[in-house]
Homo-oligomer: A and B are copies of this chain.
Amino acid sequence: MNIFFQPDNTKKFLEGDEAQHCIRALRMHPGDFLLVTDGQGRKARARLTDVSKKECFYEIESLEIVPPPPYTIEMAVCPTRKADRNEWMVEKMCEMGVKQINFLVSEHTHQETIKRVVNLERLQRIALSAMKQSRQFYLPKLNFFLSIEDFFKQNLAKHRYIAYVSEKEENKHLIEVAASTESVAVLIGPEGDFSPSEIVKAIECGFTPVSLGETRLRTETAAVLACHSVHLANVMQN
């Protein structure tokens, strides 16, 4: 059954892109069944009652609240200079399950990237689509353009990790240290890596340095594999 998004639980109709997808792409008709979620765990089984050009009205037949995952993953990344790499990074992390993705501005982030490369609306649409496609009912939050300093101050995750390329230290792999059943935040080095002072600051703020393996990974690959490593740390500990 197809999943649709209606963040406002007082409304009993799909609107905008969701309505268009229902009417035009899927050609659904009154009487057809659908699932509606608010992206916060609500999973309503509904039946279409009326379809206009812009809205799809439905009646809810049964309602379930999907329990939140036993641990939350929050990722913090600096956007890459290629739009498509940012897009797949968001898609893949949302597909796996992530609570929040913070886009940070580091010393090595180009202003051009922030102004021209990152299309916020498009990334929001990709996150929504990935949630529905992977049949999840919690919509990841995308948080755009915090400075690294503000992220250090504001982040409340219980366990915090920073992954960067280090030729001096031999850090443990994230999967070996990531705690399970808690809130976890992972900060990923940008293209060109963090500046030395950013790394010092992160460690002062309680971030544990970790490795992501032997090979040198692109930023977006590192982010996706770090997110997966936290999930697997939980698989291994349960």
Nearest chain B CB to A138 CB, angstrom units: 11
Q: Interface size bucket, A side? A: 20 to 34
Q: Which of chain B's residues have a CB closer than 8 A to the CB of A229?
A: 228, 232
Q: Which of chain B's residues have a CB closer than 8 A to the CB of A88?
A: 88
By the criterion CB–CB under 8 Å, are A225 and B96 in contact? yes
A225 to B232, CA, bound (A): 10
A236 to B178, CA, bound (A): 12
Q: Which of chain B's residues have a CB closer than 8 A to the CB of A231?
A: 213
Q: Which of chain B's residues have a CB closer than 8 A to the CB of A96?
A: 213, 215, 217, 221, 225
Nearest chain B CB to A95 CB, angstrom units: 5
Chain B CB within 10 Å, residue with most, of A134, A215, A224? A215
Copies in the complex: 2
Q: Is A173 among interface residues, defined by CB-CB distance under 8 A?
A: yes
Main secondary structure of the interface of A (DSSP, over half): helix
Q: Is A115 among interface residues, defined by CB-CB distance under 8 A?
A: no
Q: Which one of B92, B134, B175, B214 lies within 8 Å of A216 (CB-CB)?
A: B134
Q: Which of chain B's residues have a CB closer than 8 A to the CB of A134?
A: 215-218
- Show 5 A/B contacts (Cβ-Cβ < 8 Å), sorted by A: A95-B218, A96-B221, A134-B218, A135-B216, A236-B236
Which A residues form the contact surface with B (CB < 8 A)? 84, 88, 92, 95-97, 133-136, 173, 175-176, 213-218, 221, 224-225, 228-229, 231-232, 235-236
